[in-house]
Every structure is written in structure tokens, then in C-alpha cells.
């Protein structure tokens, strides 16, 4: 934990002197050139909690017309399109993903629903590819555990947020003896560790909601 705090502090201060180690080099191997249609069947199926509760989640984001929002790990773009509607024509939604196929599909999906306020960004594992102080909210659903370089990526998110900007994290509860074998094998960190990493990277927790069975909802503010 001390190492996490020290390294994050270095990143926060802009004087990082050592490269962060990849925490899970194989976690994103299925997203090199994804078949979007195949992943629609995975991400948008009944029984997947963030899909079933997508409108509840959108309500809790409390988006307002004119805001700039980043959907990091946009995937097939169902949250991107919902957020594009919420922020309206005066707002902007950035569909951010490491897979170009997902980014293009997210932009196209929004356009087919009549929204031209979505900008696609193909990011790297070291950052989200957003301009400094360009967004009011960063939304990360079932994606934090896919960050291969979480501290470096968090530093880029913090830089992209405007003063008092916020970040919402939704991810799987990882509880030995309770969580499924898939979660225990796939998700590297539970809520407590995720929160510690994020807080040590220059964020403060401002809201925790427990309205889902298998996942948690955390809202942080840029410190």
C-alpha cells in the first residue's frame, strides 16, 4: 500500500520517475479486434446487472444538459447513447475504448438514434486520451479491473477532469466465499483496494450507493 501511495503521489505531482508495472497483461486479450455483434450478446443480455439496471444507473449519474462526459470502456455503446440523450445537443459524450471497433460502433449507435454529440477516442493502456480539463464526469462501468496500468490511467483521468470534476466507478463486488469463481479469477481487486488506489491518486469519495446485488457504485471527486 505504501508503494501505491508513493507512486500515485509522484504521478499526481507530475514527476513520476519509474514506469508502473502491468498488473494483468492478459486481461484485454479478447479486445484486440472484437466482433461487436458477439459482444452485444455478452454485454446487453438480460441477467447482466449493469444492463438490467442501466436506467437506474443513468438516473444516479445526475447528468445535466450541456455537460461533457466520458464513457471510459464504452464497449458496445449502450451507456454512451443514454448519456448522449441526457446531456443533450449542447453537451458532449466521449466514447473511450482501447478497441477501435467498439469506439466506431458506439459513435454509430448514437448517430442512428439521432445523437451527433458523441466523439470517439481510441485510447491506450496508459491513458484515456482526453484533453486536460475537458470533462465534467468520467464514467467507468465494469472496466476498472481491465486497467492494465491503473495508477497511470487514473492520473490521466484526473488531468482530464475539470476542477471539482467527478468519476463514477461501477465494478464487481469481489468477496471470497460469496462472489462467483469467475469474479474471483477475473477481477483483480475488491472494493476496498479499488477505493484505496483511487483515493491515493488524488480523488475523494463523495458517494457510495449499494443498490445492486453483485456490483458497487462509487462516486469520487477530483481533489
Q: Write phi, then psi, for 195 (nearest 5 degrees).
A: -60, -40
- Cα–Cα distance between 77 and 130 in angstroms, integer? 18
pLDDT at 202 over 50: yes
Cα–Cα distance list, 78 to 66, 165, 183, 217, 218 (Å): 20, 23, 23, 18, 20
Percent of the chain having pLDDT more than 70? 92
Task: Establish if 87 belongs to a structural domain.
Answer: yes
What domain count does the chain have?
A: 1
2 pLDDT band, cuts 50/70/90, is very low
Mean pLDDT of the chain: 93
Q: Please give the pLDDT value at position 18.
A: 60
Predicted confidence (pLDDT) per residue in 63-95, tens digit:
999 999 999 999 999 999 999 999 999 999 999
Task: Establish if 210 belongs to a structural domain.
Answer: yes
Range of the domain at 16: 2-21+36-222
Q: In CATH, what number is assigned to the domain containing residue 187?
A: 3.40.50.150
- Cα–Cα distance between 137 and 71 in angstroms, integer? 9
Give the predicted TM-score (pTM) of the model: 0.91
Task: Establish if 26 belongs to a structural domain.
Answer: no
pLDDT at 140 over 70: yes
Task: Establish if 27 belongs to a structural domain.
Answer: no
Amino acid at each position: 500500500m505504501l508503494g501505491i501511495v508513493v507512486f500515485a503521489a509522484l504521478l499526481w505531482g507530475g514527476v513520476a520517475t519509474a514506469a508502473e508495472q502491468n498488473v494483468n497483461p492478459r486481461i484485454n486479450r479478447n479486445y484486440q479486434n472484437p466482433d461487436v455483434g458477439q459482444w452485444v450478446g455478452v454485454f446487453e443480455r438480460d441477467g447482466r446487472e449493469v444492463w438490467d439496471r442501466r436506467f437506474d444507473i443513468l438516473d444516479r449519474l445526475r447528468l445535466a444538459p450541456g455537460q461533457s462526459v466520458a464513457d471510459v470502456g464504452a464497449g458496445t455503446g449502450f451507456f454512451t447513447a443514454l448519456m448522449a440523450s441526457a446531456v443533450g445537443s449542447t453537451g458532449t459524450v466521449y466514447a473511450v475504448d482501447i478497441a477501435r471497433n467498439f469506439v466506431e460502433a458506439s459513435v454509430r449507435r448514437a448517430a442512428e438514434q439521432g445523437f451527433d454529440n458523441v466523439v470517439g477516442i481510441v485510447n491506450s493502456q496508459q491513458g484515456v486520451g482526453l484533453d486536460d480539463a475537458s470533462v465534467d464526469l468520467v464514467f467507468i462501468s465494469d472496466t476498472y479491473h481491465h486497467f492494465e496500468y491503473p495508477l497511470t490511467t487514473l492520473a490521466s483521468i484526473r488531468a482530464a477532469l475539470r476542477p471539482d470534476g467527478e468519476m463514477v466507478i461501477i465494478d464487481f463486488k469481489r468477496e471470497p466465499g460469496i462472489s462467483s469463481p469467475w469474479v474471483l479469477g477475473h477481477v483483480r481487486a475488491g472494493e476496498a483496494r479499488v477505493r484505496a488506489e483511487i483515493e491515493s491518486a488524488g480523488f475523494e469519495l463523495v458517494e457510495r450507493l449499494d443498490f445492486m446485488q453483485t456490483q458497487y457504485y462509487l462516486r469520487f471527486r477530483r481533489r
